[in-house]
A and B are shown apart, each in its own frame.
Chain A
């Protein structure tokens, strides 16, 4: 989802840029090996949510660029929606429990 969101926000990127972007956004909290991004990208591509093509980087080097597809956008919307729903549910659970504790103390 992170990859899809990144690509949606920033347009076509190569693997390194996506990895860096995710690191930045997560404020280095997600300490994953950057290499793991590639199998993930492959899976997303196989699902048809992103597409890739070979292009030339800003430093005039050959690089593979990934971009989000229409199906990818739909999937992102769906996952974001689900995530929202889940987090609000969890938030509801976490909220009221603290209140009685406070009263009882």
Chain B
């Protein structure tokens, strides 16, 4: 609601209230006058008549109060009053109020930030019309390839003719970075290839111009030639949102595409965490001389030349299982008609696509859930502290409460008042939290984004995030407010106004008891968090050291000679010369080549046939294949354990050689010496000419968490299949990125048409591969320490309070000869007793929920003694720290002063 409007509503209520109030007064006055007149008539004196009238009427004000409560919705009226009073009370102790609001704000903000990420990544549907009827369509069966729909273009075309099965459908390929020129500016932009039904199936109407149509989806373009639709973002950033963008050309890899439309602003395609800039027809190749004939001419049942993703829209009343049945029947029939022998095992699988395709979900949903639990626990602990603060304040306010109770306020009134104050605190805390969350969310996003581009996720606040924050604030408000409220009202009842004069040992006990129970809970929550943090930190360390190579000071540069027009042996020659030139660059220690970068999540694999090894039927004889330059092992720091490494003389004219890793050696040769043994590729018919010349130490290849794969390395000159785009591996003497410019110059010195992309470091690859673990380790440590800190603050508060309460007792002890050290021990024992009980409960929690995180650990179990011990020790230190100040204070009390305090 806007300010003026809110003001108007209040003014109106105020006006009406005064009018109603006046009417009630009139009515009462009339009543009393009538009664007085009657009394006069019956012979009383004027004064007597009036007082008798009042007597028989009863209490005017209580009646009015009752009347008022009946008049409006009583809760609203009194709630407004409670809130006004609450605001006044909060203003009276600004430091306390600010402390509470800030700690709440941080707690709620952290929760909101994690929730908004979780919501975007896991729960949200795509910003298109009727996302619920969108489905991924894929061909199943035993030989299905993952990450592909397995649907050939021919089959896709047949499906398109049957609108009774699916209202509409389209296929798309994952968006990929391409060289794009707008005007005179060249850059790398995300290009999404889609079939003509893309926009009509998603029911996305372009903000400007027209969508891509089936008639555009041809190799050389449709009637308008090659066309594209650009994203709203791209339109804004490259064309400044000008209407004249329509009809302008965008040059992709040297081919001009005419802009025909602009997507709506919130639309980001099918994949969460990606935001394509340009949409082009799938059948139009993205480079000069490119062709789609392989795709177009693929056989009906071809799975290798298939469309990556196929998405369809169901009819409104059509269930997914029904669609699955009908589509399966149709595909079987189609394949039978095409004389494909085996059709009985053919199935079509249909999966909901309304939430899009989310790699982020796969990668981050579980870590985010874990983080959500952790931040919720932090918020709980913060709530515990706030409850304790309010509890002690309630004790301090007993006199006020007693006055109010004796003036006729009901217990309910007191409770309501306290809850109102808590809700006010929660409200301000929630508001602070929202501000904090927008900032924290961006920070998180930047942190989890690998590479130079921040993951494009829109984290602006919306209704759902708002609702979450509101619920979080409200429930925390109730959580920390109700206990103190009930306590305050009870204590007030029991003690009344005379309380001040009977202050003794037993005073304040109930609040101290509740307070201690709260502290127990806080410690019990904080300990598992510390343990989890220790486990995650160890996991991260284990993972990083598991790599098996030396990532420091290695620069990675991707080069693509194909785009520059190199083919076949030209590429090999180019690489030979390139490596020689780069090794001469100052600061470069060694340079080599690798076909697929380490820790990029993938590796190329090849079927091997090893001399002297008889594979079982159906045995998987695939090995990872690295096509490398001469000094590769030296460059990335993988030691050769037997035999020799490749040299520059292992070229296309020399005898074919290979180096295998320990895992492969163990698998095929057990304990015998693999050096000198031979192998071949592609099954048993191979010529087995390749000689094994060395064994290299095991190292991870695609990911850090994988079991080390069997790896086979070949010199690239002997492996024509690797004459393709490749990745330079360059070990430098200093900061690797510092050498990047010189190397780029060197490459462009040879041929300035060679595309240089993906400049990064091996160290960065390791960091990125462990991004999830790093995120969890970092945040769980931060939140774990925060939890311990909060618990210790709570502990300190409770102990300080306890000492303050027992000043007299302590004074007596000292007067009777109690020693300082003894007093200190007494307080410390009490503190550590609390911590110990809390930790026992905490350990119980750890043992019961520990296995939940086991899948996120690496090289360590959930019950790792070292982690548990370190957490316990830290907790004890924290406890000692919290107890020390109050203990010192107690031991330094002057007994004379202590005995005089009341």
Contacts and interface: CB of A to CB of B under 8 A. Distances in A.
Contact of A35 (B33, B57, B71): B57
A34 interface: yes
B63 interface: yes
Contact of B27 (A15, A20, A33, A36): A15
Given A14-B30, A16-B31, A38 B67 contact: yes
A43 B30 CA distance: 20
B70 A33 contact: no
Contact of A34 (B23, B26, B35, B70): B35
A92 B423 CA distance: 56
Given A62-B26, A64-B23, A64-B27, A33 B59 contact: yes
B57 A33 contact: yes
Contacts of A102: none
A39 interface: yes
Interface in A42-95: 42-43, 46, 57, 61-64
Contacts of B38: 20
B30 A16 contact: yes
A19 interface: yes
A62 B28 CA distance: 12
Nearest to A33: B58
Interface in B29-47: 30-31, 33-35, 38
A61 B63 contact: no
A42 B67 CA distance: 7
B31 A39 contact: no
B34 to A, nearest CB: 4
B517 interface: no
B168 to A, nearest CB: 56
Interface string B47-84: 00000000011111001001100110000000000000
Given A33-B56, A33-B58, A61 B30 contact: yes
Contacts of B59: 33, 35
A15 to B, nearest CB: 6
B56 A34 contact: yes
Nearest to A14: B30
Identify whether the interface residues of B are mostly helix, strand, loop, or mixed: helix
Nearest to B69: A39
Contacts of A64: 23, 26-27, 30
A14 B32 CA distance: 12
A63 B34 CA distance: 11
B453 to A, nearest CB: 63
B34 A16 contact: yes
A94 to B, nearest CB: 34
* Chain A interface residue bracket vs B: 20 to 34
A63 B63 contact: no
Contact of A15 (B31, B56, B70): B31
Residue with the highest number of chain A CB atoms closer than 10 Å, among B28, B33, B38, B63: B63
B58 A39 contact: no
Nearest to B53: A34
Residue with the highest number of chain B CB atoms closer than 10 Å, among A17, A20, A43: A20
A38 B56 contact: no
A18 to B, nearest CB: 10
A42 B28 CA distance: 13
A63 B63 CA distance: 19
B67 A36 contact: no
A16 to B, nearest CB: 4
Given A16-B34, A33-B59, A35-B60, A42 B71 contact: yes
B637 to A, nearest CB: 84
A19 B67 contact: no
A38 B30 contact: no
A19 B70 contact: no
Contact of A38 (B27, B34, B35): B27
B70 A42 contact: yes
A36 B63 contact: yes
Contacts of B67: 38-39, 42
Given A39-B66, A42-B67, A62-B26, A34 B58 contact: yes
Interface in B63-120: 63, 66-67, 70-71
A43 B69 CA distance: 11
Contacts of A20: 38
A16 B35 contact: yes
Contacts of B57: 33-35
Contacts of B23: 64
Contact of B58 (A17, A35, A62, A63): A35
A24 to B, nearest CB: 12
Interface in B740-764: none
Given A34-B57, A64-B23, A39 B30 contact: no
Contacts of B56: 33-34
Given A16-B35, A42-B70, A42-B71, A35 B30 contact: no
A105 to B, nearest CB: 46
A88 B30 CA distance: 41
Given A62-B26, A64-B23, A34 B71 contact: no
Contacts of B63: 33, 35-36, 38-39
A34 B31 contact: yes
Nearest to A42: B70
Contacts of B24: 38
A32 B59 CA distance: 12
A73 B67 CA distance: 24
A10 to B, nearest CB: 16
A20 to B, nearest CB: 8
B438 to A, nearest CB: 46
B30 to A, nearest CB: 5
B77 to A, nearest CB: 14
B118 to A, nearest CB: 47
A31 B57 CA distance: 11
A33 to B, nearest CB: 3
Nearest to B26: A62
B29 to A, nearest CB: 10
A46 B73 CA distance: 11
Nearest to B27: A64
Contact of B31 (A19, A32, A62): A19
Contacts of A35: 28, 31, 57-60, 63
Nearest to A31: B56
Interface string A21-34: 00000000000111
A46 B72 CA distance: 10
Interface string B1-44: 00000000000000000000001101110110111001000000
A34 B30 CA distance: 13
B155 to A, nearest CB: 70
Given A33-B58, A33-B59, A64-B23, A46 B70 contact: yes
Nearest to B70: A42
Contacts of B33: 61
B72 to A, nearest CB: 11
A61 to B, nearest CB: 7
A32 B58 CA distance: 8
Contacts of A61: 30, 33
Interface in B809-864: none
Contact of B28 (A32, A33, A38, A43): A38
A34 B67 CA distance: 14
Contacts of A14: 30-31, 34
A62 B30 contact: yes
Contacts of A57: 30
Top 9 closest A-B pairs, CB basis? A33-B58, A35-B63, A35-B58, A16-B34, A16-B31, A35-B57, A39-B66, A42-B70, A34-B57
26 contacts: A14-B31, A15-B27, A15-B31, A16-B31, A16-B34, A16-B35, A17-B34, A20-B38, A32-B58, A33-B59, A34-B56, A34-B57, A34-B58, A35-B31, A35-B57, A35-B60, A38-B27, A38-B28, A39-B66, A39-B67, A39-B70, A42-B71, A43-B70, A63-B27, A63-B30, A64-B23
Given A32-B58, A33-B63, 14 more contacts: A14-B30, A16-B30, A33-B59, A34-B35, A34-B58, A38-B24, A38-B63, A38-B67, A39-B67, A42-B71, A46-B70, A62-B26, A62-B30, A64-B30
